[in-house]
């Protein structure tokens, strides 16, 4: 197995900074209500899948604002100074935890208003005894793999935990949040059931990805995660590492290797040619498909796309996955910085 160190974040672009700044200026509803006059519970979130889950729970009773622009490396994201204002006005700050967004957590702790709370939803969803340390997240570094949301089992837990926190902060709407979480949980279970059905058609459930985002999914769904490749600072892996990876792919007879749509890799494409494996470059882990407002721009749309891509890329058929509807029980009014 081979892995290069995780990439580091390039400087925030002006677009990302303005998007983050815009979070504190723009309202998230559709009625023209501005953030300064909107009296609903304000929930600030980090990565887009988490924002989507929180938005599904909040419906139109709370306003949800993401702060990490889609397509940004969440592991190394350094919040712009303007993000502090968004955090300082939040009633509830929802982060994944498991050491994913430490700079954002520290900024929130310094700027949290009286009575507000920080919810580390991932840390609450799984006991420490079940944390996974692996290719990108060695135990010696003390940071477990944080990607629980790619597993529908944990995504449903996320919704329940978020709903409980919203209910505590906004008691009049407690039953509404919990009902929305239950509806989300049913959709997550339906997606998981469809995946379990379709993955039976996959000859060998082995997964080699650009980013190490499927460890918990692999454990729960019986997939073998054979490695992850992620160039440091967007540079190519060393030749020796490439050679070892080619040897592994041939030995494992991996038919498809999965790259990232956000960070295309010429090296992975070349590895595919050298091994005969197809290079599928569109897998995602926290960049939602489509644009905000599109049906597929959601946690459900993200995971249906990824699961379908994985199953078909490895020789299976995604009959059940393709029938999963993307219609949400509630309208997602969350703000997603782009």
Per residue in 188-224, pLDDT tens?
999 999 999 999 999 999 998 887 889 999 999 999 9
Question: Shortest CA distance to 90 belongs to which of 98, 79, 100?
Answer: 79
CB of 28 within 8 A of CB of 333? yes
- pTM value is 0.86
For the chain, residues classed under CATH 3.40.50.1980 are: 14-193, 195-323
Burial of 31: CB neighbours in 10 Å, binned 0-12, 13-18, 19+: exposed
Q: What is the pLDDT of residues 49-77, one digit of tens each?
A: 999 999 999 999 999 999 988 877 777 77
Q: Under CATH, which number does the domain 195-323 receive?
A: 3.40.50.1980
Q: Is the pLDDT of residue 181 over 80?
A: yes
DSSP secondary structure, 204-263, as one string = --EEEESS---HHHHHHHT-EEEEE---GGGPPPPHHHHHHHHHHHHHHT-SEEEEESSS
Greater confidence (177 vs 82) lies with 177
H-only helix segments in the chain: 14-22, 48-58, 83-88, 102-111, 121-125, 152-169, 174-198, 215-221, 239-252, 266-275, 299-313
CATH architecture type of domain 14-193: 3-Layer(aba) Sandwich (3.40)
Q: What is the pLDDT of residues 157-180, one digit of tens each?
A: 999 999 999 999 999 999 999 999
pLDDT category at 263 given cuts 50, 70, 90 is low
CB of 215 within 8 A of CB of 126? no
pLDDT category at 28 given cuts 50, 70, 90 is very low
- Phi, psi (deg, nearest 5) at residue 207: -130, 120
């Amino acid at each position: 197995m081979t892995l290069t160190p995780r990439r580091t974040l390039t400087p925030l672009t002006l677009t990302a900074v303005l998007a983050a700044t815009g979070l504190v200026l723009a309202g998230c509803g559709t009625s023209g209500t501005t953030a300064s006059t909107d009296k609903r519970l304000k929930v600030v979130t980090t990565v887009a899948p988490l924002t989507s889950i929180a938005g599904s729970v909040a419906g139109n009773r709370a306003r949800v604002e993401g702060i990490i622009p889609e397509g940004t490396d969440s592991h190394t994201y350094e919040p712009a100074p303007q993000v502090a204002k968004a955090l300082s006005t939040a009633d509830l700050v929802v982060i994944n935890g498991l050491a994913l967004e430490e700079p954002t957590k520290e900024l929130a702790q310094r700027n949290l208003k009286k009575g507000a709370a920080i919810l580390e939803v991932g840390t609450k969803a799984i006991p420490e005894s079940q944390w996974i340390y692996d290719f990108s997240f060695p135990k010696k570094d003390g940071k477990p793999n944080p990607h629980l949301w790619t597993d529908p089992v944990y995504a449903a837990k996320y919704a329940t935990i978020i709903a409980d926190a919203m209910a505590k902060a906004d008691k009049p709407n407690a039953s509404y949040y919990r009902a929305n979480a239950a509806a989300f949980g049913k959709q997550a279970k339906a997606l998981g059931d469809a995946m379990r059905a379709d993955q039976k058609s996959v000859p060998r459930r082995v997964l080699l990805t650009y980013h190490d985002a499927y460890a918990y999914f692999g454990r729960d769904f019986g997939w073998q995660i054979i490695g992850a490749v992620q160039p440091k600072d967007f540079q190519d892996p060393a030749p020796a590492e490439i050679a070892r990876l080619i040897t592994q792919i041939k030995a494992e007879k991996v038919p498809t290797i999965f790259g990232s749509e956000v960070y295309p890799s010429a090296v992975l494409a070349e590895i595919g040619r050298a091994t005969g494996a197809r290079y599928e470059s569109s897998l995602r882990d926290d960049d939602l498909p489509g644009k905000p407002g599109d049906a597929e721009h959601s946690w459900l749309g993200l995971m249906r796309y990824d699961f379908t891509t994985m199953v078909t890329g490895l020789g299976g058929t995604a009959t059940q996955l393709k029938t999963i509807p993307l219609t949400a029980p509630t309208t997602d009014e969350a703000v997603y910085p782009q």
